[in-house]
Homo-oligomer: A and B are copies of this chain.
Amino acid sequence: MKALLFQEVGKFPTLQTVEKPKPSQPGEVVVKLKAAALNRRDYFITQGLYPGIRTPMILGSDGAGLHNDRLVVINPALYWGHDLRVQQKSFEVLGMPTYGTMAEEIVISSDRVHYAPEHLTAEEAAAIPLAGLTAYRALFTRGKLKEGQKLLITGIGGGVSSIALQFANVVGAKIAVTSGSDQKLDQAKEYGAGLGVNYTDEEWAAKLSAFGEFDLILDSAGGDGFSQLVKLAKPGGTISLYGGTRGKISNLSPQVIFWKQLDIKGSTMGSDKDFADMLSFVDAHKIRPVIDRIYSMEAVDEAFESMAVSRQYGKIVIRISE
């Protein structure tokens, strides 16, 4: 079969012919993939910025394809365990060290396979799993977002933040977003953002503050800006922190945190329940995830380049078969 094979740190995967995988454990099934999607994690792995890298490897956490002649999506959160609060030690994300979705076929435990909501194309279905799961848990399971609440999403445009905006919009949140790109801010407004602020603007915090105090802030940056986020939070509010692209947090005031009785909640991926709840939510609200662009398997380099420079708004999808 054709597969995008990652063979060496520092290089992107290349299109190769490899042996078809075969089920070897009870409960494993074959999914014939129609589309996969990229996540920042895939790019980080190619750059060696991930623990426990093994080669050769088929990357890819997101995939949709056919199983028993129906379109299915794959839950990329492997071995979460039974504690809804936190994943167990053996937790893995599909696509390293377990072979992922950037191939014509994948062998996977049947409990990871869910029928796709019927309103979705294969490419849309592939755009949902990792980002949708992460956004759903950070917004609802951890963040307890409710109708009418004010929400700030930092770094709009990425897979998680763009689907989080869609999720929050359908529940009736009042949403502000930030980005370093005015174009992405404009795009976010089409998906329900009431305010977009460019974080390169020196007045960014003041402009967000004028929008009101935030019941919930979704942040994947950390870094120096985080100390401003606690000031923007409403007393009794929550910050869901699901990434750290800006590195370590500094200059953070304990006084602001305790006087406002804030909750800072770490969130990553999600439990099996989160995944099932997220799919039901996507189905109920007929959400179509934003796709930045669909690439062919031959154009894998371009897909990874786009992720490398964070040019995209929404998901970068790779079409595997028609």
Contacts and interface: CB of A to CB of B under 8 A. Distances in A.
A252 B223 CA distance: 9
Given A85-B236, A86-B235, A235-B86, A255 B261 contact: no
Interface residues of A, number: 37
Contact of A261 (B221, B252, B256, B268): B268
A131 B87 CA distance: 35
Given A86-B235, A235-B86, A264-B264, A254 B259 contact: no
A270 B85 CA distance: 26
Count identical subunits in the complex: 2
A260 B266 contact: yes
Most-contacted residue by chain B among A248, A249, A258, A267 (CB, 10 A): A258
Given A86-B236, A236-B86, A261-B86, A249 B254 contact: yes
A257 B261 contact: no
A244 B254 contact: yes
B235 A244 contact: no
A235 B262 CA distance: 20
Contact of A259 (B235, B260, B268): B268
Interface in A86-122: 86-87
A244 B83 CA distance: 32
Q: Which 8 A-B pairs have the closest CB atoms?
A: A244-B254, A86-B236, A222-B254, A257-B266, A258-B266, A249-B252, A85-B236, A264-B264
19 contacts: A85-B261, A86-B235, A87-B261, A226-B254, A227-B248, A241-B254, A242-B258, A244-B254, A248-B254, A249-B253, A250-B251, A256-B266, A257-B264, A258-B267, A258-B268, A260-B266, A261-B265, A261-B266, A264-B265
Given A86-B235, A248-B254, A261-B267, 11 more contacts: A83-B236, A86-B236, A221-B254, A241-B254, A244-B254, A247-B254, A248-B251, A248-B252, A258-B268, A262-B266, A264-B264
